[in-house]
């Protein structure tokens, strides 16, 4: 196989704020000849790639999505010219980013692929809530899962719930009522839950609730995509969780602080 002299960097652009990029990512952007900007990546990334031709391959703003095959062809074409192509993806490229297909395609074409890790929105969401995803008093791990499967089927929610790991659910907002109902067949409705929209960006919004009331609270507070849904006892350690009005246990707790709004938090009525 002939190796081409260009290369492709699959770059994890993190959840939004530019200072959540890794130093390695910033260096790769500096050296980029071509920057392919994904729909969920911060457009300001282009300011870190002064020498790059910037191509938006996103679908923000109601425009039609750039077909995956076209994006892959772009990467091959520019790399074949000997250029350094940086393909920037929101969050962590190795989590729900179709990186698997792109890596396979580039390898078949004899193109060198470099992968630069980044911060996935699930971790940024936990940081915003001030919780560990794996508080050892509550769970043994965390599962990242997408509610949106390739074949329009759905994950095995009963099997996922049975692990008793914290669940970080991506791309689940459009079917949150259904997802919560399925999980509630295994988990208690009182299980702590949260939604963090635009985690790790200046627009971050957080909502604390419980599994049984999460979908209603999300609708009432007007939360939408992109957002991460977090479910599990570890989420109960979030700052302000006991103040949540939908929490029966908080209402029963005579020592609970009076309810007050916390910066960036939404509380359902």
**Which residues contact a copy of itself (rule: CB under 8 A)?**
14, 17-24, 26-27, 92-101, 103-104, 107, 113, 115-120, 123-124, 126-127, 130-138, 140-146, 149-150, 155-156, 159-160, 162-165, 200, 234, 237, 239
Between 221 and 256, CB nearer to a copy of itself: 256
The C-alpha angle 113, 49, 72, rounded to 5 degrees, equals 35
* Residue 80, SS3 per DSSP: helix
CB of 212 to a copy of itself, least distance (A): 22
CB of 219 to a copy of itself, least distance (A): 25
Catalytically active residues are 38, 59, 171
Between 63 and 188, CB nearer to a copy of itself: 188
- Candidates 83, 81, 74, 92; CA nearest to 10 is 92
65 neighbors 8 (Cβ within 8 angstroms) = no
Between 73 and 107, CB nearer to a copy of itself: 107
* Residue 244, SS3 per DSSP: coil
Q: Structure tokens of 25? A: 């990512």
Q: Structure tokens of 179? A: 């997802």
* Residue 51, SS3 per DSSP: coil
CB of 164 to a copy of itself, least distance (A): 7
CB of 93 to a copy of itself, least distance (A): 8
- How many Å apart are CA 66 and CA 15, to the nearest integer? 21
Between 83 and 167, CB nearer to a copy of itself: 167
């Amino acid at each position: 196989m002939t190796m081409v002299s260009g290369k492709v960097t699959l770059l994890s652009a993190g959840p939004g704020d530019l200072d959540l990029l890794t130093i390695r990512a910033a260096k790769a952007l500096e050296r980029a000849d071509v920057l392919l900007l994904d729909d969920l990546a911060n457009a300001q990334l282009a300011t870190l790639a002064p020498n790059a031709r910037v191509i938006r391959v996103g679908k923000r703003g109601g425009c039609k999505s750039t077909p995956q095959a076209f994006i892959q062809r772009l990467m091959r074409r520019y790399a074949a010219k000997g250029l350094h192509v940086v393909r920037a993806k929101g969050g962590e490229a190795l989590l729900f980013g179709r990186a698997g297909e792109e890596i396979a395609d580039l390898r078949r074409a004899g193109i060198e692929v470099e992968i630069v890790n980044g911060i996935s929105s699930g971790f940024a969401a936990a940081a915003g809530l001030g919780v560990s995803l794996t508080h050892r008093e509550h769970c043994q791990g965390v599962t990242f899962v997408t509610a949106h499967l390739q074949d329009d089927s759905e994950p095995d929610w009963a099997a996922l719930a049975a692990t008793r790991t914290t669940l970080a659910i991506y791309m689940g907002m459009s079917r949150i009522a259904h997802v919560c109902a399925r999980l509630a067949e295994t988990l208690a409705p009182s299980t702590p839950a949260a939604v963090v929209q635009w985690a790790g960006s200046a627009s971050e919004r957080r909502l604390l609730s419980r599994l049984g009331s999460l979908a209603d609270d999300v609708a009432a507070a007007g939360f939408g995509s992109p957002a991460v849904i977090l479910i599990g006892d570890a989420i109960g350690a979030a700052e302000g969780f006991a103040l949540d009005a939908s929490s029966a246990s908080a209402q029963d707790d005579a020592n609970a602080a009076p309810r007050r709004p916390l910066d960036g938090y939404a509380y359902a009525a």
